[in-house]
Structure 1
Amino acid sequence: MKTLTVPPGISDITATPMPAHRDDWERRLLRDPNLLRDIADRIGGPFHLMYPERVEHNIRAFQRVFDRSGVVGAIYYGKKANKSPSVVRACAKAGAGVDVSSSGELLSALRGGVCGTDLVVTGPAKDDRLLELSTTYGALIAVDDLDELARLTGLGIRSRVLLRVLPPESPSRFGMTVDELDLALTLADPDAIRLEGFSFHLSGYAAEPRAELAGALIDRCREARGLGHPITTISIGGGFGVDYLPADAWETFLDGVNPRWFHGDRAPHPERYYPYHCPVPGPAMLAAVLSHENLGYRLREAGIRLAIEPGRALLDQAGCSVFRVQGVKVRRAHGIPYAILTVNGSSLSLSEQWFDSEFLPDPALWPEYPGAVTPTCVGGSTCLEEDMLSWRRIPLPRAATTDDLLIYPNTAGYQMDSNESKFHELPIPPKVVLRNSADGRQFQWASEDPEI
């Protein structure tokens, strides 16, 4: 990939380049002279591309870490990160389970080929239907409070249970305190509850706190075994980082970011950004968890498997989002001209705006041909001033024109549909699944929308 340099004349209002890491399949896509245009013409609106082979690749990378450590591991895909059925099918094919939090997600995972016993059910105050489905299909249920434990006991079907732990000194609304856990261990009737372990979830993307809390729970597991419970599992949840950008691009951005780089001088607070460069992402972070304070050895000695619930990390490089430029305006900021694009979609399909933040990896402008670097922000086609896909003035490699395509990279994790809406009665962008032809030389595609 060529290094893009922002000319001095526009650098005052233009963000530094944020070149995304791109997988081989996406580079092939951008080089293809016809495929993107063919899909865009057929769909007639914005769309999301999914490449499920990459999901399988990511699952196997996590599995290799478990294999090398000698620790028995269980991988549950955090389904909330992307609704595409292609991801669930990839999980079933690669031997991963699914983490679900609603009856709809549970049934969708079953339809995708995942066995009920390979599901973990999370979330607070689960409704009765979800608890009944979970027990019927033999799913592992992360119980969030004592009331939920009591309701499970009354179902008349023996339930597989993890007790969700409130991390020490955490303000979280999820999980049980030490006293509640002690009570749960005495209240768990072995005839109704098969208590298989403990679970927790930590905010942030640091390995060490996860390893330390998991290590502390090993003693809690031994304690529970002494009370007759068949403890086998500790789940450390998700939060495995994804590396979107090279370190130098991320550091340069953070060092220089200022409101003048954004349309309307509107810059998110620095603490709101996702850490788009992660030096120890995904599987490497799992390896760091297992090595910290000899956690892997301690799990092996105690005969405990480690469960993880990655969402974004299993979707790394597994998809991108495509919008067509349907309008171009020129405006000035601090006396310098820049472009405002209107695309055939909205920021509701690029969900980082939901977090009062900004999706920072630079989109690709297609087709590619030479031109002058042009400061460009991107707006949606709705009537709201707030509907901006990119407030940041991106240094596009040339001036965009109507009917060009913008391809936002690596959007499969949370960006595609966490905030989707039919606002203005615009259709929700469909997901298009890309697969390799038998000879591996071409892509074949199919929309997940049955009407396309």
Structure 2
Amino acid sequence: MAVPPDLAAALIAENFSRDAGGVLRVGGLSVIDLTKEFGTPLFVYDAGTMRRTYRALCAAVTGFAEVDFSVKANPNPAVIRVFHEEGAGAEIASGAEFDAARAAGVPPERILFAGPGKGAADLDRVIAGGIGEIHLENREEMVRVAAAAERHGATVRVALRINPGAAAQGGAMRMGGKPSPFGFDEEAMDAAIDAVEAQAALRLVGLHLFAGTQGLKAETLLGQWAYGLGLAARIARRTGRPLETIDLGGGLGIPYFSGDAALDLGALRAGLPDLIATLRADPGLASARVVLEPGRYLAGPAGLYVARVLAVKESRGSRFVITDGGMHHHLGASGNLGQVVKRDFPLAAVVDGGAAARAATAVVGPLCTPLDMLARAAPLPPLAEGDLVAVLQSGAYGLTASPTGFLSHPLPAEVLVEDGRATAIRHRG
């Protein structure tokens, strides 16, 4: 179903609310009150929205796959803990993320370690900690993992990350079907299998595939997953034993821009019977744990980034709202995190009764660069110094994906709202 043109209003109706005075509320709490307690700029996450999103996705893929959380999307242990309480394991990309997942209560055997540049120190850290699985992405890493395993007297479970052929591409950011630093090229897969098998300290148990990210079409994801099952079957045949894990990656997208269509979970569910039949029919795959590990899809809709208006000015016919928040905290919203064509994230006034006329408004931050722009033409009511604006879809790839040291502004607080209570999960400064 296509998202209505007023994406911000649609997302507020779906995940948050407004009271009779038009004040934006998260989990029943006034955003104005939250900023009085925790200051601005401020990241606010709604645990209830996270839980609903996780449960809906699990229900859609039940019988086919389990759902883990990709920690890179939001590595705050309190956020990881919400998904762990729902049953998720964790996919990590560094030793520090391993520590964050463990601090959130995730057992080490439920943690998968991916990423193209795993160093010796991080490998020692996770192997000593009992990591469940490490995904190999190149020959040097294979040798490094084997050496670390030998140092710790362990046999380490590993999977091969495969850079698939062009048939598996899709999503807003292709991560397969082209030259890539990620994983072994599909055409070199057999040689990589043989090389792993020759390492006594490694046990090849699975496949990792990640063909693209920000996928909004069910048919694209289903096609990628089917392709992944074919690659998994090849690994099982080459090793002569069943696979234990088939990690089909994340890549599930969320609507950021007007006109985006939200991922149709019903269509996703409708396409699974053929994939389930493929799994059951192949002895090399039938007992494998199939894993999806989205991050953005699970955490993104639950977050707001709230900033306070410092000034409003007109410049040569354009309206600018200058705030205390910006790209140093939320690079994605500024359009500088991989966007080729910069478009506005959904952004709303925190107080909006709906009666005032909207005008196209540029919302900018306090940094000394024209790149520091949270919106270029957001349809906003009149705003004045002291008012608040909120960037939606901000629960993923926000603070920790941003250049927080640029111009040395203090870090914002992060707040988790659940059961009518707000808890600071990262303090300001």
Q: TM-score, normalised by structure 2?
A: 0.83
Q: Structure 1: how far apart are the matches of 2:144 and 2:185? A: 19
Larger mean CA deviation between 213-222 and 151-160 belongs to: 213-222
2:69 corresponds in structure 1 to 77
Offset at 1:96? 0.5
Q: Equivalences for 1:291-330 in 2 at 5 Å?
A: 291=273, 294-302=274-282, 303=286, 304-330=288-314
8 A contact 1:52–1:86 mirrored in 2: no
Q: CA deviation at 1:23?
A: 5.1
Match of 1:153 in 2: 146
Q: How does 1:129-140 map to 2 (within 5 A)?
A: 129-136=121-128, 137-140=130-133
Q: Residues 64-98 of structure 1, C-alpha deviation per residue, up to 9 Å, x if partnerless? A: 2333xx33x23221111112222210122011111
Shift of 1:341: 0.4
Q: Which amino acid aligns with 2:312?
A: V
State the AA in 1 paired with 2:276.
G
Deviation at 1:133, TM superposition (A): 2.7
The correspondence of residues 5-404 of structure 1 with structure 2, limited to 5 A, is 17-19=6-8, 20-22=10-12, 26-28=16-18, 30-31=23-24, 35-67=30-62, 70-71=63-64, 73-136=65-128, 137-154=130-147, 155-156=149-150, 157-169=154-166, 170-171=177-178, 172-178=180-186, 180-187=188-195, 188-189=197-198, 191-204=200-213, 205=215, 206-226=220-240, 229-244=241-256, 249-250=258-259, 276-280=260-264, 283-284=265-266, 286-287=268-269, 290-291=272-273, 294-302=274-282, 303=286, 304-333=288-317, 338-352=318-332, 353-354=335-336, 355-356=338-339, 357-358=341-342, 360-369=344-353, 370-391=355-376, 393-396=377-380, 398-404=381-387
Tell which deviates more after alignment, 354-363 or 310-319. Answer: 354-363
Residue matched to 1:444 = 421
Give yes or no for contact 2:15–2:302 (8 Å, CA) kept in 1: no
Counterpart secondary structure, 2:182? coil
Deviation digits for residues 284-322 of structure 1, max 9, x if unmatched? 56536634xx22211123313321121111114211111
User: What SS class does the counterpart of residue 197 from structure 1 fall into?
Assistant: strand
Distance in 2 (CA, whole Å) between partners of 1:54 and 1:426 is 30
Q: Which has the larger radius of gyration?
A: 1
Moved more, 46-55 or 125-134: 125-134
Question: Is contact 1:240–1:285 with CA below 8 Å preserved after alignment?
Answer: no
Instruction: Select between 402-411 and 168-177 the one with higher mean Cα deviation.
Output: 168-177
Change (3 A) 1:451 1:317: closer
CA distance in 1, matches of 2:29, 2:46: 18
Query: What count of residue pairs does the alignment treat as equivalent?
Result: 389
Give the partner amino acid of 1:287.
R
- 3-state SS in 1 of match to 2:407: helix
> 418, 421, 425: which is aligned to 1:435?
418
Q: Percent identity?
A: 24
What do residues 226-245 of structure 1 show as CA deviations (whole Å, max 9, x unaligned)?
Answer: 1xx45222211111122456
Distance 1:42 1:189, change over 3 A: same
Give yes or no for contact 1:62–1:286 (8 Å, CA) kept in 2.
Answer: no
- Distance in 2, Cα, partners of 1:289 & 1:348: 41
Structure 1 Cα separation of the partners of residues 238 and 302 of structure 2:
40
Task: Show structure 1 runs of 5+ residues with no match.
Answer: 5-15, 251-275, 437-442
CA distance in 2, matches of 1:237, 1:66: 14
Runs (5+) with no aligned partner, structure 2:
167-176
Q: Is the 8 A contact 2:207 2:232 kept in 1?
A: no
**Greater mean alpha carbon deviation, residues 403-412 or residues 366-375:** 366-375
The answer to whether the Cα contact below 8 Å between 1:211 and 1:290 also exists between their aligned partners in 2 is: no
Q: Deviations over 1:354-381 (max 9, x none)?
A: 2245453432213224322222111111
Measure how far apart 1:435 and its partner are. Answer: 1.3
1:347·1:387 contact (CA, 8 Å) conserved in 2?
Answer: yes
106-115 or 323-332, which deviates more? 323-332
8 A Cα contact 1:350 1:359, kept in partner: no
Please state whether the residue corresponding to 1:378 is helix, strand or coil.
strand
In structure 2, what is the Cα distance between the partners aligned to 1:413 and 1:451?
A: 19
**Shift in Å, 1:417:** 3.3
CA displacement at 1:105 relative to structure 2: 0.5
- TM-superposed CA distance for 1:432, in Å, is 0.9
Aligned residues of 1:51 and 1:434 also touching (Cα < 8 A): yes
How far is the alpha carbon of 1:279 from its aligned partner? 4.6
Q: Is the CA contact (8 Å cut-off) linking 1:244 and 1:278 kept in structure 2?
A: no
